[in-house]
Amino acid sequence: MSTPPIALVTGGIGGLGSAICRQLALDGARVIAADLPHRNDRLAAFRAEMAEFGEHADFTALDVTDFDACRRVAAEIEQRHGRIDILANVAGITRDASLRKMEKAQWDQLLAVNLDGIFHMSRAVIEGMLARGYGRIVNISSVNGQTGQFGQTNYSAAKAGVHGFTMALAREVAAKGITVNTVSPGYCQTEMVMAVPEPIRARIIAQIPVGRLGAPEDIGRAVAFLASERSGYITGANLPVNGGYFMSF
Ligand code: CAA
């Protein structure tokens, strides 16, 4: 690719999202972080972290639960930059509660962001990728989608669904130059994980063979690897980045 790839990262100014944006930019992409507006502190931090990339790092306001807004943002980027080469679906939330205490709103909100959002954004970019015969889609799942987690029936269901989506779409577009993969992070040093009560978090960390929480950069490097033009023979895969917390075939 002679011109820099154009990358769109949903949840792009969040804990993992900003590390993913940074790694993609370090690897030479022009990155557009799409995230909820009105998070001024986070946005200022993102702009500072990405300052060295100048006009190769941008922000656009987006709520991934809004199907029409996803289409609009994709169309605007394609209009401005000519294409979207890389989509990283990172936007995600937790609404932890055991099932007997879970409100319907906690289920609905979580599914709307973590699962519907991936459909909305992938649907918005796929036509352009098919027309150009090239694309890289990387969806963020979680170790808790692979193992289930106490208090996370909503999150584990959505995150398991993410990889089902990945595998189905990977088959649909494999012959068209587009790869679709999942990265399943373990427990990382993010606000989301730091919100887990300390005694529970300490018990989890004690079970991580590598002996520490993941760094957001660990996830950034995995996403950038799968988003690279050179990773064209990897599709429908689920790459665990969890410090050995969960191992399987
Ligand atoms: N495993 C087994 N039993 C547990 C438990 C656990 N993790 N947590 C609570 N229990 C037990 C309690 O000991 C208690 O037992 P008794 O009734 O016999 O006394 C009972 O379950 C309490 O059940 P409640 O429904 O009242 O649970 P709670 O309201 O006290 O806590 C919770 C539920 C808020 C979900 C709490 O368990 C929790 O915060 N868990 C952490 C969930 C977690 O790991 N979230 C990850 C967020 S980060 C993320 O998701 C990123 C990523 O991708 C990795």
In a domain? residue 35: yes
In a domain? residue 181: yes
- Domain CATH number, residue 124: 3.40.50.720
In a domain? residue 246: no
pLDDT of residue 189: 96
Q: For residue 98, what are the domain limits?
A: 6-241
pLDDT tens-digit readout, 197-245: 999 999 999 999 999 999 999 999 999 999 999 999 999 999 999 999 9
pLDDT of residue 142: 98
In a domain? residue 163: yes
Question: If you take atom 53 of ligand 1, which residue's CA is the nearest one?
Answer: 142
Catalytic residue among 134, 155, 187, 245: 155
In a domain? residue 248: no
Please check whether residue 157 is in contact with residue 212, taking contact to mean a CB–CB distance below 8 angstroms.
no
How far is C-alpha 10 from the chain's CA centre? 7
Residue 122 has pLDDT above 90, yes or no: yes
Residue 187 falls in the annotated catalytic set: no
Please check whether residue 24 is in contact with residue 31, taking contact to mean a CB–CB distance below 8 angstroms.
yes
d(CA 186, CA 141): 9
Is-above-0.85 flag for pTM?
yes
- The C-alpha torsion from 95 through 101 and 103 to 107, rounded to 10°, is 50
Whether 152 is in the pocket of ligand 1, judged by its Cβ within 6 Å, is yes
In a domain? residue 106: yes
In a domain? residue 27: yes
In a domain? residue 247: no
Q: How many domains does the chain have?
A: 1
